[in-house]
Structure 1
């Protein structure tokens, strides 16, 4: 099927969410919420420059800094524009996670990587870990597709669906969702089903409304602040986010330029849906660039499930 572009219309809900692909080390010409980073290139510890407080907020959002959210607005360290030791350390950790030289300097490759559209889920959970990996190194002799060290990770506490619950239901929260949209996301569910012990069943909107059935996974398309404490930020920033098991919350930014299939200057819906479904099943982000659970996505590209993704689910659910 030829790629399809979602044109903005009052009658269409756009799609989708986040995720991965090889980082492109160049500054995008597209305006995005991360555009401020372009002006910070070249700065390092000891510098003071307007905009560093925005970088601190960015790194705080994705787990590299740990400012108290309740007091974030009054936190002087977060609000100032000083490039201090704490910021340098956070940048080094980010660089390690994204396979960049850990200099702590905002070089061109670091800035361009940070500017890529991405998933809204944190790279690092507040559980003592500092890297995008769970440290799972166990290999089965027949798993030839895996490297010696796997890089998938789980959410804090390794939440997962009950072992006897292998069929998960999902529903779109509006009957205005286009057929192309629902088919693309359904294909993503089918790909996970083909590689795991799970099956997925869509509940139609009308049946949900009439019979008050509660689905395991609820998919919605929202703009900016949508009431969950994690507002979207407009095109080419945070694309989507999903919850750990068993909340089943799957939100996508309706302001993005979504497409079915890879289209220049658009984000492939199915690719991002694959990523967010990984979160719904219990996977956190991976530092493997080819993995679907890698946090960032480039426009005009598509990805599939990787061995690291599949092995992560198998290990989480103790499946061979």
Structure 2
């Protein structure tokens, strides 16, 4: 890539237009992984478990125990030393309650329709066992202006990217692990927007590179077993997964029908690429899952659902790890950027220092 296109790419990434139709939400929530059956339809078979409760014995409960174990709610289930059964016992009831609490569902301990609908929905492959922080950036209880407690979480140990200031991470999209119906340029544009959302709120820059192996963050689409020990399971199961800092791997299930424009997409089961990309970048930065249903870092995403805009909960979480972009204020979430409506670019004063540093780095190394 020549010097000029690369500099233009960085400028667009850090200064380019970004939607700001963000909302304030109630805000608490996590991370792990194991292997699930190579068939995304297995989750939809859980519908036969409707209204199961403690004392029930229904075929399929054993598979649900493995699901709950995978995502951090039932340690030990499915292991060789503890075979799963189709009995709904006290251990499973406790796991269901933990799941309901984490996903902000009514905590009944039973497999009611609301709980089963959420369990059968497509979701991120990262588990829900993250570490919650009970205080806000200001040192007081982590609460929004309306008193709602934050729900963001982190990987164990709160890992984060560190290097001399300013922090600039490179990313690359695999030239071989792709989906044939989405042009490479379209996928790159989606990730450019997704990275820019996070860059807007924290003092971290993201620079695209063509050197996939040397990139800090490596993105690719894969089917089934793909070498990281966590195979994908087909359409509408696990949508993607990412690893904590400083691993940098971000993988998407190529078996999904990925879409970039739901207004023109005709496939009913299509999944919004930008929403999942934004979510998985949150994991790459060190965030776990949030129990706020409106947050980008909530673990599940329904087909055709668009959820790519960062909420207060997402921003407070990532700023806990990296601090705020100078000059950025959460109050800006309630203001529409008038230049966006006209399609023009908006200058972000908070990013000026970071932009200059990145440009110096690029000119020095090219």
Native 8 Å contact 1:151 1:288 kept in 2: yes
Find the aligned partners of 2:136 and 2:208 in 1 and give their Cα distance: 35
Deviation of 1:50 (Å): 1.2
Query: How far 1:144 moved relative to its partner?
Result: 6.4
1:137, 1:149 → 2: CA distance? 9
Give the corresponding residue for 1:52.
61
CA change 1:233–1:144 in 2 (3 A) is: closer
| Counterpart position of 2:220 | 220
The equivalences for 1:101-116 within 5 A come to 101-116=106-121
Partner SS state of residue 79, structure 1: coil
2:173 equivalent to 1:172: yes
If the length of structure 1 is used for normalisation, what is the TM-score? Answer: 0.79
Compare CA radii of gyration and give the structure with the larger one. 2
SS at 1:34's partner residue?
Answer: helix
Partner of 2:284: 280
Segments of 4+ moved more than 4 angstroms: 137-141, 143-148
Report the equivalent of 1:302: 306
Q: For residue 136 of structure 1, what is the aligned residue in structure 2? A: 135
How far the C-alpha of 1:135 sits from its partner, in A, is: 2.6
Q: Equivalent residue for 2:248?
A: 248
Q: Aligned equivalents of 2:145 and 2:168: distance in 1? A: 27
Aligned to 1:202: 208
Secondary structure of the structure 2 residue equivalent to 1:219:
strand
Shift of 1:32: 2.8
Q: CA deviation at 1:73?
A: 4.6
Paired positions, count: 274
Q: Secondary structure at the match of 1:74?
A: coil
Higher relative contact order (CA 8 A, sep 6+): 1
Aligned to 1:25: none
- Find the partner of 1:292 among 270, 291, 296: 296
Q: In structure 2, which of residues 319, 322, 341 is the aligned counterpart of residue 317 of structure 1?
A: 322
1:200 counterpart SS class: strand
Give CA-to-partner distance per residue, 1:100-122, whole Å, 9 cap, x none: 22111101110001111000000
Q: How far apart are residue 176 of structure 1 and its match?
A: 6.8
C-alpha spacing 1:147/1:161, structure 2 compared with 1 (3 Å):
farther
In structure 1, the gaps of 5 or more residues are 1-21, 23-30
**Within 5 Å, which residues of 2 pair with 1:146-165?**
147-162=147-162, 164=164
**Distance in 1, Cα, partners of 2:172 & 2:318:** 22
Distance 1:300 1:117 in 2: 11
CA distance 1:34–1:144, change in 2 (3 Å)? closer
- Structure 1 residue 185 and structure 2 residue 191: aligned? yes
Q: C-alpha displacement at 1:147, in angstroms?
A: 4.8
Alpha-carbon RMSD: 2.3
Which consecutive unaligned segments of at least 5 residues does structure 2 have?
1-24, 26-39, 179-183, 326-366
**Distance of aligned partners of 1:160 and 1:107 in 2 relative to their CA distance in 1, 3 Å threshold:** same
Equivalent residue, structure 2, for 1:8: none
2:75 pairs, out of 61, 66, 80, with 66
TM-aligned CA deviation for residue 134 of structure 1:
3.3
Shift of 1:282: 0.8
Kindly indicate whether the alpha-carbon contact (under 8 Å) linking 2:201 and 2:324 is maintained by their aligned counterparts in 1: no
Deviation at 1:224, TM superposition (A): 0.9
